[in-house]
Amino acid sequence: MIFMRILPGVLKELLKHVPTVLFDAVDWSVLASELPKLSRRIIQKDGYSELYELQANFLEPFNVELVNQISKNYDLVGQKKAAEQILTVYFAQLFSPHGIFLDLGPNHFEFQNEKLAYKPSGLWTQFSPTFTAGLKDIYDGFYFENEELFHKGLLESGLTSNEWPKEDRNNLAKLFKSHFGASLTSEMSFDLDTFKASFIKVADFMLVKKVKISTDFIYLGIALVTIYSSLEKTQTKVNVKEIYLNVKNKLKTQ
């Protein structure tokens, strides 16, 4: 892909794990306009220090510390509490008003003394308000088993349309739910290849429906792929629903 050849090296490496079919469903003119901004953020660390300071304060109540250096030899294998905290970082950032650091890969974390150290990279974004609202409704709809709210979230985030037949909307909802695995009823383990396979099915479906997805969805894909790679590395199972609800409850008390 021409697009891949002109990206900064760090982002190229990350996007190797994002199904390429997803890019066929993106408005290329919008994606092209993002490239200069991404390059400045990754290479020149544009906006990094500002977000770092804001996010450090935001994540502190979750027992997460943003740092500039971590051990290169830290091993996540068997670290269940680390897995829970890494997932906490993902969910908490979805509620952050400041933005989201996207690279949640295993080489950015270290767990010591019941606290997660997170060294973010310069790859960050701020989702649009409507996309953020849609994501929250998708997660709330799933974990509270509210079908109406789940479908509302898919509409808000631009992934479905009221113009579609109901059967098509239901089919995409089922494909999306496959990402959640057994997280509604029990602890779940994480397998990156399985996740990518389900992601491809979603992208293929949207391509058939001629949906032009936003760059927000591409960025979400990067966050999900990287967090799956970290959670897979731990080789543990976690209660995803419990972690999501804990994040929401913590935010209510702040």
Dump pLDDT digits (tens) for 80-138. Answer: 999 999 999 999 999 999 999 999 999 999 998 889 999 999 999 999 999 999 999 99
Could you tell me the residue ranges of all domains in the chain?
1-254
For the purposes of burial, counting CB atoms within 10 Å of the CB of 202, is it exposed (0-12), middle (13-18) or buried (19 or more)?
Answer: buried
- At 31 the pLDDT is 67
Query: For 224, which DSSP code?
Result: H
- At 48 the pLDDT is 96
pLDDT at 139 over 60: yes
- At 85 the pLDDT is 97
Structure tokens at 173: 């909802």
- At 158 the pLDDT is 87
What is the residue type of 226? T
Using pLDDT thresholds of 50, 70 and 90, give the confidence band for residue 14.
low
Dump pLDDT digits (tens) for 183-213. Answer: 777 898 999 888 888 877 887 888 788 777 7
